[in-house]
């Protein structure tokens, strides 16, 4: 029995072996090297090489191993690796990939390289890829593959069983699809279950055992597809045009993959990284992408900080406040981020919709009142004891309490509002939240302090 073994060799052995095999130009040794590793380990070893060496390796190893590595890489990285290859070689690797992956890669490549590859591919495959790369990414059209287990409505059970029993590449590419029955005009008319095939005599026409298939249009969203696969145990769902003509099949696996990628990219965006980033990308590119987001943020930060500027007199009079300004804004920022997190999660689970903003606000403010008062009392006591001024404690505590309530309201509702107006909540929620909670935090502390000045300076 083959047990899946995790790697025990040290890294040094690994990269030495890789470099040695590469230096020797030994394709077989390279194949053996990558074959032994898991795809993520293999990809890591590949990406750790300088870019010239990556090209050498991808040119030497067998096309199907190369295809596995390209598919394992995040889309943009995979497209870059392909762009760097000679066109002939890129086409060889392309031929090993499923049409949905081909379309993703072509869509992510520079148009010149993409055209060069399409020009050398099999004309029919290239036409499929061109057609498929037109569809939006996270729709049924963008996720489907064109390798469909199509059977003419004139076929019998025995015909299908012959196809299934054939030991060739095409059948592997169907990935466990059920046979879809297509009429002479290309319309999807039925689907046949494995049980149907096995329990019926071999001479029966497929049309006698087929059932009505569920199908989606090419513009069905990722969430629609998630709903279908949640509810039904299908491994794939056919995609049809407005007239019921068969376009392709979306597999359960493609949907799972897209959902995972969406969650991971949201994660990255919430942390302020817009667009893909791996550390193996060029420094200037990583730097530029991060800077784009940071420099927008610096402007928002200035707006918030200008509130402090307006109260410099108060600050000079009660300098102890300076210690608590960042605490109040940071803490409310944290409370607000928690609310953003819960809303993003509920959005992705489909448990709230943009129009539920008011309901969400009610739920948030009830937590905000409790936590605001609790944290306000806590920080108020700290300020009182630390600086020996009960009035200061009151100012800081009240400011944090108020600002926490504001922060959870903004944090809970802003992602829904952004979604409603067609903006990406993962990118914009954080900066908006921080700006508002900073401004309001500074304002609450400093304006309360100004009002309380007589008691504050007497201490």
Interface with a copy of itself: number of residues (CB under 8 A): 132
Rounded Cα distance between 280 and 77, Å, is 9
Of 29 and 175, the one with the shorter C-beta distance to a copy of itself is: 175
If one asks whether residue 176 binds a copy of itself (CB under 8 A), the answer comes out as yes
Residues near 21 by beta carbon (within 8 Å), at least 6 away in sequence: 29, 30, 33
Give the range of 13-21, 53-61, 142-150, 162-170 binding a copy of itself by CB under 8 A.
162-170
Tokens representing 289? Answer: 């992408």
Rounded Cα distance between 195 and 209, Å, is 10
Of 116 and 259, the one with the shorter C-beta distance to a copy of itself is: 259
Edge-to-edge strand list for the sheet holding 180-182: 150-152, 180-182, 188-191
Give the range of 55-63, 101-109, 111-119, 343-351 binding a copy of itself by CB under 8 A.
343-351
If one asks whether residue 323 binds a copy of itself (CB under 8 A), the answer comes out as yes
Of 132 and 379, the one with the shorter C-beta distance to a copy of itself is: 379
Of 37 and 116, the one with the shorter C-beta distance to a copy of itself is: 37
Rounded Cα distance between 141 and 216, Å, is 9
Token look-up 């490549």 returns: 109
How far is Cα of residue 231 from the mean position of the Cα atoms in its chain?
23
For 105, phi and psi rounded to 5 degrees? -65, -50
End-to-end CA distance of the chain: 79
Rounded Cα distance between 239 and 303, Å, is 49
Smallest separation (angstroms) from a copy of itself to the CB of 260: 5
Give the range of 2-10, 16-24, 53-61, 115-123 binding a copy of itself by CB under 8 A.
2-10
If one asks whether residue 455 binds a copy of itself (CB under 8 A), the answer comes out as no
If one asks whether residue 188 binds a copy of itself (CB under 8 A), the answer comes out as yes
If one asks whether residue 292 binds a copy of itself (CB under 8 A), the answer comes out as no
Residue from 204, 377, 382, 398 touching a copy of itself (CB under 8 A): that is 382
Residue from 12, 123, 165, 421 touching a copy of itself (CB under 8 A): that is 165
If one asks whether residue 244 binds a copy of itself (CB under 8 A), the answer comes out as yes
If one asks whether residue 428 binds a copy of itself (CB under 8 A), the answer comes out as no
If one asks whether residue 102 binds a copy of itself (CB under 8 A), the answer comes out as no
Residues near 169 by beta carbon (within 8 Å), at least 6 away in sequence: none
Query: Which among 123, 235, 225, 238 is positioned nearest to 186, based on CA atoms?
Result: 238
Residue from 194, 385, 451, 457 touching a copy of itself (CB under 8 A): that is 194
Query: Which among 449, 364, 451 is positioned nearest to 404, based on CA atoms?
Result: 364
Residues near 170 by beta carbon (within 8 Å), at least 6 away in sequence: 147
Q: What angle do CA 365, 368, 371 make, to 5 degrees?
A: 155
Residue from 20, 271, 358, 459 touching a copy of itself (CB under 8 A): that is 271
Show the binding pattern over residues 69-88: x = contacts a copy of itself (CB under 8 A), - = does not.
---x-x--------------
Of 74 and 107, the one with the shorter C-beta distance to a copy of itself is: 74
């Amino acid at each position: 029995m083959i047990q899946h073994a995790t790697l025990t060799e040290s890294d040094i052995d690994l990269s030495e072996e890789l470099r040695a095999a590469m230096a020797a130009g030994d394709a077989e040794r390279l194949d053996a090297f990558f074959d032994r590793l898991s795809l993520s380990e293999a990809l890591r070893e590949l990406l750790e090489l300088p870019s010239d060496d990556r090209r050498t390796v991808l040119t030497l190893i067998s096309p199907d191993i190369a295809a596995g590595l390209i598919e394992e890489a995040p889309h943009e990285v995979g497209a870059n690796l392909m762009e760097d290859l000679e066109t002939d070689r890129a086409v060889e690797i392309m031929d090993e990939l499923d049409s949905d992956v081909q379309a993703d890669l072509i869509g992510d490549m520079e148009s010149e390289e993409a055209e060069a590859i399409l020009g050398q591919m099999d004309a029919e495959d290239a036409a499929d890829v061109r057609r498929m790369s037109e569809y939006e990414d996270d729709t049924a059209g963008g996720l489907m593959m064109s390798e469909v287990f199509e059977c003419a409505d004139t076929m019998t059970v025995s015909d299908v069983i012959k196809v299934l029993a054939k030991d060739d590449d095409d059948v592997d590419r169907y990935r466990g699809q059920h046979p879809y029955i297509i009429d002479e005009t290309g319309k999807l008319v039925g689907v046949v279950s494995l049980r149907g095939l096995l329990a019926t005599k071999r001479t029966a026409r497929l049309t006698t055992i087929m059932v009505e298939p569920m199908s989606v249009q090419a513009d069905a969203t990722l969430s629609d597809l998630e709903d279908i696969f949640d509810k039904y145990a299908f491994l794939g769902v056919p995609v049809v045009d407005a007239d019921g003509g068969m376009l392709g099949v979306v597999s359960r696996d493609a949907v799972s993959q897209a959902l995972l990628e969406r969650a991971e990219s949201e994660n990255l965006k919430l942390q302020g990284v817009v667009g893909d980033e791996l550390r193996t990308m060029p420094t200037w590119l990583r730097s530029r992408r991060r800077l784009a987001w940071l420099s927008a943020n610096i402007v928002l930060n200035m707006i918030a900080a200008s509130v402090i500027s307006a109260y410099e007199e108060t600050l000079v009079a009660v300098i102890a406040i300076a210690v608590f300004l960042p605490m109040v804004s940071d803490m409310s920022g944290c409370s607000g981020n928690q609310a953003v997190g819960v809303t993003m999660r509920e959005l992705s689970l489909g448990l709230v919709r943009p129009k539920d903003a008011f309901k969400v606000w009610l739920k948030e403010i009830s937590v905000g009142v409790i936590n605001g008062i609790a944290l306000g009392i806590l920080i108020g006591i700290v300020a009182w004891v630390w600086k020996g001024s009960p009035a200061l404690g009151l100012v800081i505590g009240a400011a944090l309490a108020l600002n926490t309530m504001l922060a959870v309201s903004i944090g809970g509702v802003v992602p829904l509002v952004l979604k409603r107006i067609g903006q990406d909540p993962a990118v914009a929620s954080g900066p908006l939240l921080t700006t508002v909670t900073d401004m309001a935090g500074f304002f609450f502390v400093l304006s309360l302090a100004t009002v309380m000045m007589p008691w504050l300076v007497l201490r």
